[in-house]
Structure 1
Amino acid sequence: MPRSATLALLFSTSCCCLLLIAYSLRLRGHLAAARHEARHDELTGLPNRRAMLAHLDQVLSNPAHRVAVLLLDLDRFKDVNDEYGHAAGDFVLRHVAVALVRAAPPRTIVGRMSGDEFLIIVDGDADTARSCAQAAANALANATITLRWQPFHCHASIGLATAGPGHRAATELLAQADAAMYAAKQAGGGVREYHPDLTDLSRRTDNDRRRFR
């Protein structure tokens, strides 16, 4: 084969290899973006329900792991959407997400479950979770948002539940946190810790377990 033909062949082969490498890198980028989108909330950038439940199931699979959850539901959020519109509601949700992440201690994961409901998974015992809940409540109370030149103060009803020796499923722990959150909302907001005397749990558990799947 003439030298010129050999060089042309080598050049063509090199170009093909470079194109294949570029295409492979592009596919990897698309795959990474798709994976990120599948596990993160589009509005706030926080881990979404799927990612939070997967992480919670993982940590609960270790009986020696101490974990607690905080379920937060914003107070008066429906009023924001009704009075100022959904764009303002989205603005509030993004602001709340930033405030919660900044207030969260190390080894704590903040995620958005749906709507105006957020979940915080705390790596620690009940005392650590109580401290985290108070920090989250304070962060929201101090986060003033201006909507149409009017200050809006964020507040939330927060339910706290700590995983005991028998907890092996995220749905059970979240149902308890949801019962505590519902009790807090009925009381006007603030933080409420789950205990077996909360009578709402038996009424709400089946619906909540379906909701948290």
Structure 2
Amino acid sequence: MKSILLASTALVAFAGAAAAADLGAPRSPVAAAVVAPAFNWTGFYIGAHAGYGFGRSTGIDPGLGPFPANTSGPLIGGQLGFNYQVNNIVLGVEADLAFAAISGRNVNVFNNDVLYRTHMLGSLRTRAGVAVDRSLFYLTGGLGFQGASFATTIGGVAEKYSRVGWTLGAGYEYAITQNWTAKIEYNYYNFGTRTLGPIYVGTVQSDVHTVKLGVNYLFSTGPSAVVARY
């Protein structure tokens, strides 16, 4: 009887030690599930856009003062760029060029109307946005390019010039299909002050706002974007 009690006690003690050792064993880490975005914005793209531009230009004659005018008109052009997506963040670069007819006139008491015209707008910009599946909300900014002309009714001849400035904007893009997207975008361009010559004297300064509708064809799409683990 005594032997049976000793054996039972030893068995209970062994079972308790085994349970305690099991409770103290470290747990293996459980990998967090990472869900990849449903649509992949990564890749090169090319597209076209059309829109409307408006702004203000001011020519300043050293002897007669400023001659400001509101400017407005349509534009049409194309763009190309590249996107790279990590999780829901989309970074990219885009270049665009548009033919424009953004013009205005200052009618003054000197019977010498001043004519302003922007016939080309372009830019080289970075883009940074947040993707929500097929929707992309982004900010953009970089260099702006302008081809413009200045003329007066008395002078008759237009002085053409090109300028480099800066641009900032924002937009929304939506993937209609796996490769085709549509977008709406606003941009502000500022080109500072330029000295006129050799046809006219003085300076001219201008800025332009644009609202554009466009479509893009995305060449490279895959099953998912790059997923970063943290």
Scaled by the length of structure 1, what TM-score is found? Answer: 0.25
Q: Report the structure, 1 or 2, having the larger helix content.
A: 1
Of Structure 1 and Structure 2, the greater strand share is in: 2
- Using the size of structure 2 for normalisation, the TM-score is 0.24
Structure with max Cα Rg: 2
